[in-house]
């Protein structure tokens, strides 16, 4: 067992590498191959890494594949129904419109796969990571999920009542309005989810962190909570007297933002939402300075042109 890296000189004029003898290799790496169109049906391969192969339109039905990485493969429009796949990582594969119902998948990572509008009801999935999947409007009721990450999923308004989930991380889910009463949840992180107004009375929660959740006005009396961190949540004026708390922290709503003014009187600095150093736009009412990209994302999600902090016209 070993690995093999495919390089540009291995790619034939017709965009294939059928002449390559992989011998006993079980890990194949195909990176920076702009002319690669098709990969062989390797019978023994267990892991394939495809990165920066924009002409690759599909992958074979490898019978023993366990792990697949696809990065910057914009030509991919679908993935096969691999029977033994365990882990799939898709990054900047904007041509993907759906994923198969893999029977044995355990972990799925999707970043900036904007063509995805839904995910299948995988029966054995354990971890799902979604970032910048802007067109996802809902997630399935996975029966065995334990960990979920949702970053910049602007279309999500709610999450399912997963029976086994233990960790949930939500960041920049601007349309999210509520969480379910998960019975096995242990850890919840919420960052920049301004439409959340309350959190459920989770019976087994131990760690909660809320950052810039401006709609929250109170927290429940969780019976088993150990650690609570609240940053820049102006509606939280007091915290409950949790009986099991070990550490609790609430910071004042006081954001200090540094920026520069250039010769054209334009603001430059770190955006309060995405932390990118870029040109900023200042709200006419409050002191928030946000980049145009974050303003546009907020306006698309809420169908208005109001500031996410003061709710006045930006």
Task: Name the CA radius of gyration of the chain, rounded.
Answer: 23
The reply to whether 131 and 183 lie within a common domain is no
Q: Decide if 35 is inside a domain.
A: yes
Residue 125 shares a structural domain with residue 187? no
* Residue 150 lies inside a defined structural domain of this protein: no
Residue partners of 264: CB distance under 8 A and separation at least 6: none
**E strands, the chain, where?**
2-6, 25-31, 47-51, 67-71, 87-91, 107-111, 127-131, 147-151, 167-171, 187-191, 207-211, 227-231, 247-250, 259-261, 267-270, 277-282, 289-291
Residues whose CB falls within 8 Å of the CB of residue 278, separated by 6 or more in sequence, listed in order: 268, 271, 291
φ, ψ of residue 267 in degrees (nearest 5)? -85, 140
**Domain end (from 136, 166, 183):** 136
pLDDT (0 to 100) of residue 254: 40
pLDDT in tens, the chain (314 residues): 577 777 767 777 777 776 566 666 688 888 888 888 888 888 889 999 998 999 998 999 999 999 999 999 999 999 999 999 999 999 999 999 999 999 999 999 999 998 999 999 999 999 999 998 888 889 999 999 999 999 988 889 999 999 999 999 999 998 999 999 999 999 999 999 999 999 999 999 999 999 989 999 999 999 999 999 988 888 887 888 898 988 777 764 444 445 555 556 677 776 766 556 778 887 777 667 778 877 777 676 566 777 766 667 76
Contacts of 40 (CB under 8 A, 6+ apart): 16, 17, 18, 20, 60
Question: How far is the C-alpha of 286 from the C-alpha of 307, rounded, in Å?
Answer: 9
Q: What is the pLDDT of residue 308?
A: 64
Give the separation between CA 132 and CA 110, rounded to whole angstroms: 8
48 located within any domain: yes
Domain match, 185 and 232 both:
yes
pLDDT on residue 306: 74
User: For position 291, what pLDDT does the model report?
Assistant: 80
Same domain, 187 and 277: no
Q: Are residues 64 and 121 in the same domain?
A: yes
Asked which of 254, 270, 292 is the last residue of a domain, the reply is 254
- Which conformational region is residue 133 in: left (phi greater than 0), alpha (psi within -120 to 50 degrees), or beta? beta
- Which 3 state secondary structure label does DSSP give 282? strand
Residue 147 lies in a domain: no
Torsion over CA: 116, 119, 125, 126 (sign): positive
- Specify whether 198 is located in the same domain as 243: yes
The first and second tokens of residue 214, run together, are 């401006």
CA distance 233 to 99: 37
d(CA 96, CA 165): 27
Task: Identify whether residues 162 and 188 lie together within a single domain.
Answer: yes
List b or e across 211-228, with b for residues whose CB sees 16 or more CB atoms inside 10 angstroms.
bbbbebeebeebeebbeb
Residue 310 is assigned to a structural domain of this protein: no
Residues 4 and 117 in one domain: yes
Domain that holds residue 128: 1-136
Beta carbons of 236 and 217 less than 8 angstroms apart: yes
Confidence at residue 29, expressed as pLDDT on a 0 to 100 scale: 84
Assess if residue 265 is contained within a domain. Answer: yes
Domain contains 314: no
How many domains does one find in the chain?
3
Residue 188, classed as helix, strand or coil, is strand
146 assigned to some structural domain: no
Q: Are residues 11 and 124 in the same domain?
A: yes
User: Do 117 and 190 fall within a single domain?
Assistant: no
Task: Tell whether 167 and 240 lie within a shared domain.
Answer: yes
Are residues 239 and 278 located together in one domain of the fold? no
């Amino acid at each position: 067992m070993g690995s093999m890296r495919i390089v540009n000189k291995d790619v034939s004029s017709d965009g294939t590498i059928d002449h390559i003898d992989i011998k006993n290799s079980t890990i194949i790496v195909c990176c920076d191959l702009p002319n690669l169109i098709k990969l062989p049906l390797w019978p023994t391969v267990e892991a394939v890494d495809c990165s920066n192969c924009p002409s690759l339109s599909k992958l074979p039905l490898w019978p023993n594949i366990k792990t697949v990485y696809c990065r910057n493969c914009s030509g991919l429009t679908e993935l096969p129904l691999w029977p033994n796949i365990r882990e799939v990582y898709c990054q900047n594969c904007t041509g993907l419109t759906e994923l198969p119902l893999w029977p044995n998948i355990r972990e799925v990572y999707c970043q900036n796969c904007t063509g995805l509008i839904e995910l299948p009801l995988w029966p054995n999935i354990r971890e799902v990571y979604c970032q910048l999947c802007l067109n996802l409007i809902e997630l399935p009721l996975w029966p065995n999920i334990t960990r979920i990450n949702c970053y910049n999923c602007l279309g999500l308004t709610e999450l399912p009542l997963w029976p086994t989930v233990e960790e949930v991380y939500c960041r920049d889910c601007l349309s999210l309005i509520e969480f379910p009463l998960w019975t096995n949840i242990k850890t919840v992180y919420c960052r920049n989810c301004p439409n959340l107004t309350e959190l459920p009375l989770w019976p087994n929660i131990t760690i909660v962190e809320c950052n810039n959740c401006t709609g929250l006005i109170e927290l429940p009396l969780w019976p088993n909570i150990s650690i609570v961190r609240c940053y820049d949540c102006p509606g939280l004026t007091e915290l409950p007297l949790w009986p099991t708390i070990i550490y609790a922290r609430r910071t004042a709503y006081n954001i200090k933002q540094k920026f520069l003014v250039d010769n054209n009187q334009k603001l430059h600095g770190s955006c309060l939402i995405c932390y990118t150093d870029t040109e900023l736009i200042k709200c006419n009412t409050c002191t928030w300075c946000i980049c145009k990209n974050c303003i546009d994302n907020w306006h698309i999600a809420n169908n208005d042109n109001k500031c996410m902090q003061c709710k006045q016209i930006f």
